[in-house]
Amino acid sequence: MEFGLTEEQRMLQESVSGYLGSACALPRVREAADANDTKPADVWEGLAQLGVQGIVTPENHGGVGLSMLEAALIAESLGGAAAPVPFVASCVMAPVALTQAGSAEQREAWLPRIASGEAVLGVGLTEQIGRRESAGIAVDDGRLTGRAMFVLDGMDADAFIVADNDGAMHLVRATDTERRALTTIDRTRSVAEVVFDSTPAQVLPGSVADREPLLATIDAGRLMLAADTLGAAQTMLDQAVAYAKERRQFNRVIGSFQAVKHLCAEMAAALEPCRSLVWYAAHAVRAVPEESRLMACHAKAHLSEVGRFVARTATEVHGGMGFTDLLGLHYWFKRIGFDRQLLGAPEIVREEAAVAQGWIG
């Protein structure tokens, strides 16, 4: 019995965090954000050296073939650095969709290129979770017409995986569509609105009569967003504690005031159990499949709540400085805010958790 990470998993996470700490520190994040660059070539290349893009892609398709837990550890590191990297959709959701539902040709065409970092896939499944502004996609004779909103990693994508109104997933080349950027609070990730007008598409055959690949893809994305929030919130807490040890008022460091100390303790008390929840939820995907949907929902929803609490509280601990652009704390604040809404806000996801355990129909 071992509830924790293996030595290899720890080393993987340390190498990704270590790399990001030097190659993607705050000045680089800021520079990329100011240039609207959500995939800076140097960072992307550096991560490819570590095998990040291929983490869950099977080895026979050029990937590393590791589990959702390793992917979550990477997502946590990326969130911890607020790294501008199209990871969640392209490196995790798309490989899950292709592996579970793609044809041999589709897998061969895309998985090796995703794993090497050569190609980026955007994923647009929002309408399968909660449709806004009547978006949606109709299929006619294999061609798509309609609109997908909030396509994750969409502006960096060479192709998209989107779901039609019946939930079947399709591969579409970006050049065959019209896309426009949706500017969000979080300038470290891209989302696109993609318009289809009798656009040629390839259906992922395994997703036509079986909803499971679609749901597994959403679960994987939710897990990654939860892990991203875990990393981002941990960074905010660490920064708040460091600031509280250094900033002096009334001839004392402010961390010696209980009013400030208790805010830090409350953040730590809320956040630390989240680490175990994310580990378990990621582990469950392979090891406890009957619980995996429920756990992915809870990880997403619970991290959204704790993340929001930590984001505002850590900002408050920094006083006026926390509110400035100069300190840069807002990159993590916004990252957490983004993670919360994408692929289902907590209220939506908790309803799905109720369904997943048979509480409601």
Measured from the Cβ of residue 359, the count of other Cβ atoms closer than 10 Å reads: 9
**Binding flag, residue 257, other proteins (CB under 8 A):** yes
**Binding flag, residue 265, other proteins (CB under 8 A):** yes
Write the binding mask 212 to 241 for other proteins: x where contact by CB under 8 A, - elsewhere.
-----------------------------x
**Binding flag, residue 3, other proteins (CB under 8 A):** yes
Which residue from 30, 173, 312, 350 is in contact with other proteins, where contact means CB under 8 A?
350
Enter the DSSP assignment of 165.
T
Q: Which stretch binds other proteins (CB under 8 A): 47-55, 132-140, 196-204, 244-252?
A: 244-252
Which residue from 2, 133, 140, 290 is in contact with other proteins, where contact means CB under 8 A?
2
Residue 2: both structure tokens together: 């071992």
Contact partners, residue 106, CB within 8 Å, separation at least 6: 98, 171, 202, 204
Q: Coil, helix or strand for 183?
A: coil
Write the binding mask 309 to 348 for other proteins: x where contact by CB under 8 A, - elsewhere.
--------------------------------------x-
Enter the DSSP assignment of 60.
G
Beta carbon of residue 344, minimum distance to other proteins (angstroms, whole number)? 13
Distance CA 110, CA 222 (A): 22
Q: Which of residues 31-70 bind other proteins (CB under 8 A)?
A: 69
Beta carbon of residue 161, minimum distance to other proteins (angstroms, whole number)? 29
Distance CA 313, CA 333 (A): 10
Q: Are 240 and 317 in contact (CB under 8 A)?
A: yes
Q: Give 174 or 295: the residue with its C-beta nearer to other proteins.
A: 295
Beta carbon of residue 340, minimum distance to other proteins (angstroms, whole number)? 14
Q: Coil, helix or strand for 257?
A: coil
Sign, CA torsion 83/84/89/90: negative
**Binding flag, residue 283, other proteins (CB under 8 A):** yes
**Binding flag, residue 129, other proteins (CB under 8 A):** no
From residue 148, alpha-carbon distances to 60, 85, 151, 273, 286 in Å are: 32, 21, 7, 35, 30
Q: Are 184 and 219 in contact (CB under 8 A)?
A: no
Structural element, H or E, at residue 5: none
Q: Give 20 or 274: the residue with its C-beta nearer to other proteins.
A: 274
Task: List, as one string, the DSSP characters of 133-159.
Answer: TT-EEEEETTEEEEEEEEEETGGG-SE
Q: Which stretch binds other proteins (CB under 8 A): 40-48, 102-110, 153-161, 247-255?
A: 247-255
Q: Which stretch binds other proteins (CB under 8 A): 71-79, 106-114, 280-288, 332-340?
A: 280-288
Q: How many CA atoms lie within 13 A of 107 on its CB side?
A: 19
**Binding flag, residue 301, other proteins (CB under 8 A):** yes
Q: Which of residues 172-211 bind other proteins (CB under 8 A)?
A: none
Q: Give 147 or 302: the residue with its C-beta nearer to other proteins.
A: 302
Distance CA 115, CA 118 (A): 8
Residue 203: both structure tokens together: 């259906």
Q: Are 93 and 221 in contact (CB under 8 A)?
A: yes
Size of site (CB under 8 A) for other proteins: 46
**Binding flag, residue 130, other proteins (CB under 8 A):** no
**Binding flag, residue 5, other proteins (CB under 8 A):** yes
Q: Coil, helix or strand for 203?
A: strand
Q: Are 82 and 332 in contact (CB under 8 A)?
A: yes
**Binding flag, residue 279, other proteins (CB under 8 A):** yes
Q: Give 55 or 159: the residue with its C-beta nearer to other proteins.
A: 55
**Binding flag, residue 92, other proteins (CB under 8 A):** no
Q: Which residues bind other proteins (CB under 8 A)?
A: 1-6, 69, 241, 244-245, 252-253, 255-258, 261-262, 264-266, 268-269, 272-277, 279-280, 283, 287-288, 295, 298, 301-302, 305, 347, 350-351, 353-354, 359-360
